[in-house]
Amino acid sequence: MRIARFSIDGNVAFGAVEGSAPDELVLDIIKGIPFADFELSGTKVPLSKVRLLPPVLPNKVVAVGRNYAEHAAELGNEVPDAPITFFKPSTSVVGSGDPIAYPSFSQDVHHEAELAVVIGRMCREVPRERVKDVILGYTCANDVTARDVQQREKQWARAKGFDSACPLGPWIETDLDPSDLTIQCTVNGEQRQLGRTSQMVRSVEDLVVHISEAMTLLPGDVILTGTPAGVGPLNVGDEVAVTIEGIGTLTNKVIKRG
């Protein structure tokens, strides 16, 4: 099931995305929230008539660095012995179609296409055999990064946590095997990144186990699983799109920060 979060006539709701042709997609409005038992209302609205929102509003986004060997190498780094984790604040989250505001304190902002894991239930110290039970589904993410700031500051909080630095969407796919999916990024229609999730150094299961050893994960929390090689600069006016096999495409335009 594809679950979207959207607004219509000033109201916010979740809906199941139905259909295959882009211009024929409709939303069957969900009674309740997707983190508990829910029913489809049978009330349907065309996707074209709503505004897509970030599919979740996470309490926290836990991101993982250097989880693709070729990406680590392209920036002159080695694959770490243990996963590098960092936070992106909830205020960095935007949805598909929302703008990425180029921060005034950077001159070198990069795209990073990533598979995002959406947690479905509160969990801690998750054993490997139960990882699938705590995941609601998967969505596309762009770990937008002020590369110059990342390189000169020991902490990555500003470089990766500025407002609009975490686009998520367009929706959550709940029925998906994440182990070997095509992941790509285009800028103005030109391909920049192309990889497969099978190239991850540490799998989704590895990452959920590792992160949940340290902290409680809440429904709606998001884990970003790293980016393949090919990261590069974004400029004001660019349109950047992240596409993941079996999920869809997350599209955002870069604007000047007002």
Look at residue 77 in the predicted model and tell me its pLDDT: 87
61-256 and 2-52 share a CATH fold: no
Report d(CA 185, CA 249) in Å as an integer.
9
Question: Could you state, in order of their start, the residue ranges of all structural domains in the chain?
Answer: 2-52, 61-256
User: Residue 198 — φ and ψ, nearest 5°?
Assistant: -65, -15
What DSSP assignment string belongs to 222-252?
EEE----S--EEE-TT-EEEEEETTTEEEEE
Q: Whose CA is closest to 140, among 217, 240, 16?
A: 240
Report d(CA 191, CA 189) in Å as an integer.
6
State pTM to two decimals.
0.97
Look at residue 44 in the predicted model and tell me its pLDDT: 97
Identify whether 55 is preceded by a cis peptide bond (ω within 30 of 0). Answer: no
Q: What CATH homologous superfamily does 61-256 map to?
A: Fumarylacetoacetase-like, C-terminal domain (3.90.850.10)
CA atoms within 13 A of residue 225's CA, in its CB half-sphere: 29
DSSP 3-state of 221: coil
Contacts 24+ apart (CB under 8 A), 14-23: 14/38, 15/45, 16/40, 17/47, 17/171, 18/44, 23/48
Look at residue 23 in the predicted model and tell me its pLDDT: 87
What DSSP assignment string belongs to 2-41?
EEEEEEETTEEEEEEEE-SSGGG-EEEEEES-TTS--EEE
Is 1.20.1050.10 the CATH classification of the domain at 2-52? no
Residues in the chain, pLDDT under 50:
none
Look at residue 58 in the predicted model and tell me its pLDDT: 98
For residues 160 and 147, is the Cβ–Cβ distance under 8 A? no
Burial state string for 68-98 with b = 16 or more CB within 10 A and e = fewer than 16: bbebbeeeeeebeeebbbbebbbebbbbbeb
Report d(CA 53, CA 170) in Å as an integer.
8
